Amino acid sequence: MHPSIASHKSRWSLSGVTQSCVNLIYRLSTLYVLGLLVLLLQHVLLPQRDGFLALTQVFEPYLFAPLLVVLPLAIMRRSALLGSAIGVCCLIGLLRMGPTWISLPPLETPDAYRFSAATWNMYVANYDFDEIAPTIAAAEANIVALQEFTPPHRTALENDAVLTERYPFRYLEPGDSDGMAILSTFPILEQGILRNVERPESFPVVWARVDLGEGRTLMVVTAHPRAPHTPFRQPVPFPRTFDTAGGRADIAFLRAFIDPLLKNNEPLLLLGDFNLTERDPAYRDVSVGLTDAHLETGLGSGNTWILSQIRKLNVGMLRIDYLFSSPQVTPLRTSVNCAIVGSDHCVLRGVFEMR
């Protein structure tokens, strides 16, 4: 065979293989985008509380990442089907996540009383004790709610002179993952811990009524509903892909406590790590009758949970920590500090006002 003919056949063969690969990638990309569109519609119309589909709701924002690769392919192929599907997916994503990223904070009332509050899941295995007090102090909040508060964490707080002076009023309930604490610059009038005796495995609810002065009081409640059972915590084969029953029970117990307070129009602040995103149906169970401070006033994702493997990047991956307030308490602005040492949660801070 003449060399030129062999070379031509080789190029033709290589070109054919390349074209086949491109066609395969295009088909797979189309299937992914159409599948994502169906999944997003399911998230909107039939959100799930448990199972694999519920897990996809948690990580929904990250399902859009492959579209950055697929979009150039749709443009190159001039595919109306693929381009339209990408456009609809992006529109749904914008409607779903836009309100979280961009808010219009209310105007401050000139004669209102203002205060700040912060919440931080310290992480039960946080042994960077020298960093605990500086992290809390950096929040510069009048009220601080802490979760996964352990006896060594308590020792670290009590041994710090700056925090002792700044927060003379405190209610500490150290434990394991269920440990919690409330630090306050305001006098604490009452305090308590509620345990679900019918479910001993449930996490408690910790509360304190603080005196803001001039006849104003505020009920501060911190909670930490249990995290879902996930595939990452169970052996293979695992029977439960994503089970939120424990967290739902803790939320029901919490609502049984705060609902009468809301009915009596008591100013209330609910802070904590709730182990759920706003895409979870249980989010409404928690937030009904309350205002989500970041959703109302914040800018950016508001993500507060840090993936351990990329902790040094100081970037939150999911928004699962919240500042909720009753109608008598108006959020003005929020901020998130993810430059944290030792914990897998960022510090969420908010400024509020009361008339």
Where do the domains of the chain lie?
Answer: 3-101, 113-354
Instruction: Evaluate if residue 5 carries a pLDDT over 70.
Output: no
Burial of 287 (0-12, 13-18, 19+ CB in 10 A): middle
Q: Report which listed range, 66-80, 93-107, 328-342, is most confident.
A: 328-342
Percentage of the chain beyond pLDDT 90 is 70
Q: What's the pLDDT at 104?
A: 81
Q: What's the pLDDT at 289?
A: 97
Instruction: Evaluate if residue 249 carries a pLDDT over 70.
Output: yes
What pLDDT, in 10s, does the model give residues 119-168?
A: 999 999 999 999 999 999 999 999 999 999 999 999 999 999 999 999 99
Reference 105, options 296, 345, 328, 343; nearest CA is: 296
Q: What's the pLDDT at 102?
A: 86
Instruction: Evaluate if residue 282 carries a pLDDT over 60.
Output: yes
Instruction: Evaluate if residue 205 carries a pLDDT over 50.
Output: yes
Q: What's the pLDDT at 4?
A: 52
Reference 298, options 114, 100, 117, 118; nearest CA is: 100
Reference 37, options 98, 96, 89; nearest CA is: 89
pLDDT band at 6 (very low <50, low <70, confident <90, very high): very low
Lowest mean pLDDT among 21-35, 177-191, 251-265: 21-35
Q: What's the pLDDT at 239?
A: 44
Tell me the pTM: 0.89
Q: What's the pLDDT at 26?
A: 81
Mean pLDDT of 64-85: 87
Mean pLDDT of 225-230: 87
**d(C-alpha 248, C-alpha 277), whole Å:** 13
Q: What's the pLDDT at 190?
A: 97
How would DSSP label each residue in 11-54? Answer: HHHHHHHHHHHHHHHHHHHHHHHHHHHHHHHHHHHS--SSSHHH
- In Å, what is the CA distance from 275 to each residue of 14, 29, 239, 283? 52, 32, 21, 10
Q: Please say whether the dihedral angle defined by the alpha carbons of residues 60, 65, 69 and 73, taken in this order, is positive or negative.
A: positive
E strand spans, the chain = 113-121, 143-147, 169-173, 180-184, 188-194, 205-213, 216-223, 268-273, 291-292, 321-325, 329-337, 347-354
Architecture per CATH, domain 113-354, reads as: 4-Layer Sandwich (3.60)
Instruction: Evaluate if residue 332 carries a pLDDT over 50.
Output: yes
Q: What's the pLDDT at 107?
A: 81
pLDDT band at 71 (very low <50, low <70, confident <90, very high): confident
Cα 301–Cα 303–Cα 308 angle in degrees, nearest 5 = 140
**Higher pLDDT among residues 22 and 182, named by residue:** 182
pLDDT band at 234 (very low <50, low <70, confident <90, very high): low
pLDDT band at 200 (very low <50, low <70, confident <90, very high): confident
Lowest mean pLDDT among 23-27, 201-205, 287-291: 23-27
**Higher pLDDT among residues 13 and 167, named by residue:** 167
Q: What's the pLDDT at 12?
A: 45
Q: Length of the chain, please?
A: 355
